[in-house]
Structures are given as structure tokens and as C-alpha cells.
């Protein structure tokens, strides 16, 4: 939970905008999924001068709305565009005003340079595509650039790495504002994971695909069906017929994280879903996700800056009736 509302979202299309990164915002926030229990977002694409906006792929977009449409948006997002093109002064002013009035801004990929040009990354942790992190740090030395993460949430300013990391950041913002169940419903429709662990380092040097990747995926699928059980690294390694050291290496290569960290993330995500969709007591949820007691569950929820009961009050829908066989 972040304290930031997320009902209205505006994407700013600058000349040279990347169609894929713009489409990420359109896909997450622009499609009506109310039939799936997803809240409706007031979404629009805007530009400084309404009309034809050239893209980085050589075709144009017809954008009808001007920047004034963004004046009251909860989130103003800027998709990637080529480096070396200064941002229009009106867009820089819009981004500054958005943060000043207590709303959020989001950059996808190279659009972090636009936020930096607006002075919004000064003294802040941030990221961009791994190919451009050194250049971002060189041009804007006051920015605290982290080259290894998929996205950085610094409250009013959120930055994401390349391409698919923009999806990760958008789903993160949805999860904060509307809960894990809503984020998972959007992810399911998009056929993407609701949360990816790890960071960009796993993509910088691309290893050749190996059968081990399929082995890890099969092990993860099994683990998700057995969250209540012992999922120590040793047991997972025995299940995969490898040593704990080999399993740790394969997880690092394919997921960018450790087996233990992945299990903890999956347990937390499942606990969130149960708090949102059932009336189970906290202790029962803790047992069902493999954390044994409510005290352990509460300690993990401190990472979200909340408690299980407070999370339930914020995000719970009508409980699903669960019947034993």
C-alpha cells in the first residue's frame, strides 16, 4: 500500500515515442476489464500539440488530447523515446507540477532521461535500461542510478528498466493501489507473471537456453502447489535431483534471485490473495502458505509497510466461501 490513488492515468506521447512501451500503458490501464473485477481506469494518451505524433518505428499516431488532460491525473507516465532529444519545456513543467501536487510520475526505459531533465531524479534512487544506466549516471550525477533492478519505486517518482520491466512497474503500481488479486487478473489476461523476481543483471549477459531452465520452471510449478510444506533449498534440490549449490546457480541464471527469496515472494503473494478473497484467520493463512504462525506472516508483511489485518481492510472483497470435501 502506497497511499497514492490510481484511478486516472495519462501517457505522454513525445515525438519518437516507442510504440511497444506506449502499448504497455495502453494494455494495463486502457482496456476495460471491469467484467473481470478490475476497476475501470480513466486512461488517455496526450501530447504537447494534438495531432500526428511520429514514433520511433517510422509511423505516426493520431493523438487527440493535449497536456491539459493530465492536470488531474493520478499517474503521468512517459514511455521510452530516443536519447539525445530534449524534452519539450511544457512536458518538463507538467512532470514537475504532477509531483508537486502529490501525484506520481512513471518512466519506462529511456524515458528516465526525461524525468532527469525535469530534475525529478536528483537525489533519488532510479533506473533505466541496462544499456543506458552509465549514460544516465554520467549526464545526471545527482541521480542515484541502480543498474541491476527492474524498477524503482521512490514514492512520487517511479522508474523502470527496458521494455517488459515497464509491465512489471505498472503491475506493481496496480498491486499497491488495488491489491494482488486485481494485479493478478490483469497479468493473467496479458499472459505475463504478476511479479518477477530478480533484476536486470540476468539479462545483460544472455546464457544459451538450457534444459535446466525447463527443470527450474517445473520445480517452481510443483512448489506453488506445495507452499504449505517444507520448501527449504535442500528439499527443492532433492526434488530437482541436483545439489543445493547447482540449484542456486540455476535460479540465479533463470530468475535472477535465490530459491529461498523466490519461495518467500510466492508465499507472500499467496497470503495477499487469501487475505483479499477469503475470511480465513491470519493463523490459518500463515499455515496454508507455509509460514506456520501468524507472527511469522506479520513479520513478512512489514516489508509491505502494513499488517495482514490492515491489508485485508484495504483490499478485501466479498469472501469466497470455502467448503471442505
Residues 157 and 244 in one domain: no
DSSP string, 129-161: -TTTHHHHHHH-TTBEE-TT-SEEEETTEEEE-
Structural domain range at position 220: 210-325
Quote the CA–CA distance of 162 and 104 in Å, as a whole number. 20
Quote the CA–CA distance of 6 and 4 in Å, as a whole number. 7
Lowest-pLDDT range of 118-127, 139-148, 199-208, 220-229: 199-208
DSSP string, 5-49: --SEEEEE--TTB-HHHHHHHHHHHSS--GGGTPPPPEEEEE-SS
User: What CATH number did the domain enclosing 303 receive?
Assistant: 1.10.10.60
| CB atoms closer than 10 angstroms to residue 322 | 10
**pLDDT bracket for residue 171 (50, 70, 90):** very high
Determine whether 103 is exposed, middle or buried from the number of CB atoms within 10 Å of its CB (0-12, 13-18, 19+).
buried
- Domain boundary (156, 190, 224) is at 190
- Domain boundary (129, 161, 190) is at 190
Does 204 map to a domain? no
User: What CATH number did the domain enclosing 37 receive?
Assistant: 3.40.50.880
Quote the CA–CA distance of 104 and 153 in Å, as a whole number. 10
Average pLDDT over residues 47-67: 97
Average pLDDT over residues 19-43: 96
Average pLDDT over residues 96-111: 97
This prediction has a pTM of 0.76
Residues 184 and 251 in one domain: no
**pLDDT surpasses 70 at 234:** yes
Quote the CA–CA distance of 158 and 252 in Å, as a whole number. 25
- In this prediction, residue 305 carries a pLDDT of 82
Quote the CA–CA distance of 56 and 33 in Å, as a whole number. 29
- In this prediction, residue 256 carries a pLDDT of 77
At a CB cut-off of 8 Å and minimum separation 6, what does 313 contact?
Answer: none
Average pLDDT over residues 264-268: 92
Residues 277 and 323 in one domain: yes
- In this prediction, residue 65 carries a pLDDT of 98
**pLDDT bracket for residue 177 (50, 70, 90):** very high
**pLDDT surpasses 80 at 194:** no
Residues 160 and 285 in one domain: no
Residues 178 and 216 in one domain: no
Q: What is the signed CA dihedral for 150, 154, 158, 161, rounded to 10 degrees? A: -20
As for how many domains the chain has, the answer is 2
**pLDDT bracket for residue 317 (50, 70, 90):** low
Residues 176 and 260 in one domain: no
Average pLDDT over residues 17-36: 96
Amino acid at each position: 500500500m502506497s497511499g497514492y490513488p490510481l484511478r486516472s492515468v495519462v501517457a505522454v506521447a513525445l515525438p519518437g515515442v516507442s510504440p511497444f512501451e506506449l502499448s504497455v500503458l495502453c494494455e494495463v490501464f486502457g482496456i476495460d476489464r471491469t467484467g473481470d473485477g478490475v476497476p475501470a481506469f480513466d486512461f488517455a494518451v496526450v501530447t504537447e500539440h494534438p495531432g500526428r505524433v511520429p514514433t520511433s518505428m517510422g509511423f505516426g499516431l493520431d493523438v487527440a488530447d493535449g497536456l491539459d488532460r493530465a492536470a488531474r491525473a493520478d499517474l503521468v507516465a512517459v514511455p521510452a523515446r530516443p536519447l539525445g532529444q530534449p524534452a519539450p519545456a511544457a512536458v518538463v513543467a507538467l512532470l514537475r507540477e504532477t509531483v508537486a501536487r502529490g501525484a506520481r510520475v512513471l518512466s519506462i526505459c529511456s524515458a528516465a532521461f526525461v524525468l532527469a531533465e525535469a530534475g525529478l531524479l536528483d537525489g533519488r534512487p532510479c533506473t533505466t535500461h541496462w544499456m543506458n544506466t552509465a549514460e544516465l549516471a554520467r549526464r545526471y550525477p545527482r541521480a542515484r542510478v541502480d543498474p541491476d533492478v527492474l524498477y524503482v519505486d521512490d514514492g512520487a517518482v517511479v522508474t523502470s528498466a527496458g521494455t517488459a520491466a515497464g509491465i512489471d512497474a505498472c503491475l506493481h503500481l496496480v498491486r499497491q493501489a488495488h491489491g494482488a488479486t486485481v494485479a493478478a487478473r490483469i497479468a493473467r489476461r496479458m499472459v505475463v507473471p504478476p511479479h518477477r523476481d530478480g533484476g536486470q543483471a540476468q539479462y545483460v549477459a544472455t546464457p544459451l537456453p538450457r534444459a535446466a531452465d525447463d527443470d527450474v520452471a517445473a520445480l517452481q510449478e510443483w512448489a506453488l502447489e506445495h507452499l504449505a510444506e517444507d520448501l527449504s533449498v535442500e528439499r527443492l534440490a532433492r526434488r530437482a535431483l541436483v545439489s543445493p549449490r547447482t540449484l542456486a546457480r540455476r535460479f540465479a541464471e533463470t530468475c535472477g534471485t535465490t530459491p529461498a527469496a523466490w519461495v518467500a515472494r510466492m508465499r507472500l503473494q499467496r497470503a495477499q490473495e487469501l487475505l483479499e478473497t477469503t475470511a480465513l484467520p491470519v493463523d490459518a493463512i500463515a499455515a496454508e502458505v507455509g509460514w506456520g504462525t501468524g507472527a511469522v506472516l506479520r513479520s513478512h508483511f512489514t516489508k509491505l509497510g502494513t499488517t495482514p489485518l490492515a491489508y485485508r481492510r484495504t483490499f478485501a472483497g466479498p469472501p469466497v466461501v470455502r467448503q471442505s470435501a
